[in-house]
Amino acid sequence: MLDCVIIGGGPAGLTAAIYLARFRRDFALIDGGASRAAWVPVSHNHAGFPDGISGTALLERMATQAIHYGAPIRRGEVERLAGDRQAGFTVTLDGIVLHARTILLATGVVDIPPALPDLRGAVADGLIRYCPVCDGFEIIDRTVGVIGHGAGGLGEAKFLRSYTDRVSLLSTDVTLAPDDALRRQAADAGIAIVGSPVAAIVAEADRACSITTQDGEVHRFDAIYSALGTRKRSALARMIGAALTDDGCIVTSSHQQTSTGGVFAAGDIVRGLNQISVAMGEAAIAATAIHNMLRGVAVE
Ligand SMILES: Cc1cc2nc3c(=O)[nH]c(=O)nc-3n(C[C@H](O)[C@H](O)[C@H](O)COP(=O)(O)OP(=O)(O)OC[C@H]3O[C@@H](n4cnc5c(N)ncnc54)[C@H](O)[C@@H]3O)c2cc1C
């Protein structure tokens, strides 16, 4: 019986692994190898790296630190989670069953991608972006398009208006095109609406994108933000009966415990701000709460 199984090895899971290893706990970290952080070309808002750091470099450093303290990191996709705090939990992957007294879910979310050949290259070049909180600073006074629908798309476009006055809202689907009320709100915020849906996005050689709309018009942008939302990796949380928000994020206590006792959660999969520093902070709280619970301290 392990003290804990951490499911997910992004910034949240790896931070928890560093903490649990240093608490001298007997645990395993299982990771499917699809961290959102691996998409980050260079992060300029993550504290401690004045020249920025790429997501892959940060993940490598964190894994090295966790392994240095003896964290057992294993590649694999957890398929099944069952059990409870009294009897213990079972974690099934690749035909193996692990038994643990507590669980930390750090499974993250997946960005819903715009249809674009070589999406990875376009993200690496900063042409397609997902996170205005992360890199809005880098597009000051540039020409920016936001692909998104309804209040979500408009909200992201409004956020970007504090960096540039050249923001356009684009849609991918004629049935989701902005209605009159949304058009009025966009106009009030100084946001242009491109009425015809996007037919094609082409990354150009001079670090710009051109978008061809279904009516044949071509629009050029320095960067496109995709505000199409995320798919939550909450299947295991559902399996174990943890309470979720309407859009599939895990609800936790102030100690990161889910509504299922002994199951904790941290990072993007938890309701809140999707940022590396938040994932790390939540994981530090979760790992310490897990250690305390295993010491017999009551944990909220
Ligand atoms: C293009 C881009 C740029 C960004 N830039 C920044 C930035 O500059 N600053 C910033 O703070 N944030 C940035 N972010 C957000 C940041 O990447 C996330 O907030 C962060 O990665 C969340 O960490 P996490 O550990 O919660 O999830 P993730 O990093 O997504 O890790 C989750 C891990 O869990 C694994 N997993 C899921 N299900 C299972 C399973 N069943 N079994 C085993 N493993 C599983 C996945 O394979 C994955 O490795 C950016 C995101 C993107 C896409």
Question: Ligand 1 pocket, 10 CB below 6 A?
Answer: yes
226 lines ligand 1 (CB under 6 A): no
Distance, CA of 283 to CA of 267 (rounded, Å):
7
The pLDDT value given to residue 206: 73
How many Å is the Cα radius of gyration of the chain? 21
- SS3 of residue 4 by DSSP: strand
pLDDT tens, residue order, the chain (300 aa): 999 999 999 999 999 999 999 999 999 999 999 999 999 999 999 999 999 999 999 999 999 999 999 999 999 999 999 999 999 999 999 999 999 999 999 999 999 988 777 788 888 888 899 999 999 999 999 999 999 988 899 999 999 999 999 999 998 877 777 888 999 999 999 999 998 888 888 877 777 888 899 899 999 999 999 999 999 999 999 999 999 999 999 999 999 999 999 999 999 999 999 999 999 999 999 999 999 999 999 999
For a mutational test of ligand 1's pocket, the pick from 134, 234, 273, i.e. the residue with the most ligand atoms closer than 8 A to its C-beta, is: 134
Interstrand relation of 80-84 and 88-93 (parallel, antiparallel or unpaired): antiparallel
**Ligand 1 lined by 32 (C-beta under 6 Å):** yes
The closest of 233, 232, 228, 200 to 214, measured between CA atoms, is 200
C-alpha–C-alpha distance, residues 145 and 154, integer Å: 11
Q: Is 134 near ligand 1, meaning CB less than 6 Å away? A: yes
Residue 93, SS3 per DSSP: strand
Q: What angle do CA 155, 123, 32 make, to 5 degrees?
A: 100
8 A C-beta contact, residue 14 and residue 104: no
The full set of domains in the chain, from first to last, is 2-110+230-294 (3.50.50.60), 113-227 (3.50.50.60)
Distance (angstroms) between ligand 1 centre and the Cα of 193 equals 31
132 lines ligand 1 (CB under 6 A): no
For residue 108, give the ligand 1 atom closest to its CA: 27
Q: How far is CA 187 from CA 152, 180, 215, 247, in A?
A: 16, 10, 22, 29
pLDDT value at position 197? 87
Question: Which ranges constitute the DSSP H helices of 150-273?
Answer: 150-160, 180-188, 235-239
Quick check: CB of 12 below 6 Å from ligand 1? yes
- Taking the centre of ligand 1 as the mean of its atom positions, its distance from the CA of residue 48, in whole angstroms, is 19
pLDDT number for residue 37 = 98
**11-27: string of b/e by CB count within 10 Å (b at 16+)?**
bbbbbbbbbbbbbebeb
- In angstroms, rounded to a whole number, what is the distance separating the alpha carbons of residues 137 and 17? 32
Residue 202: what pLDDT? Answer: 83
Q: Write down the pLDDT at residue 15.
A: 98
Task: Assess whether the C-beta atom of 3 lies below 6 angstroms from ligand 1.
Answer: no
Ligand 1 contact, 230 CB (< 6 A):
no
Q: Encoding tokens for residue 122?
A: 């376009």
pTM for the model: 0.95
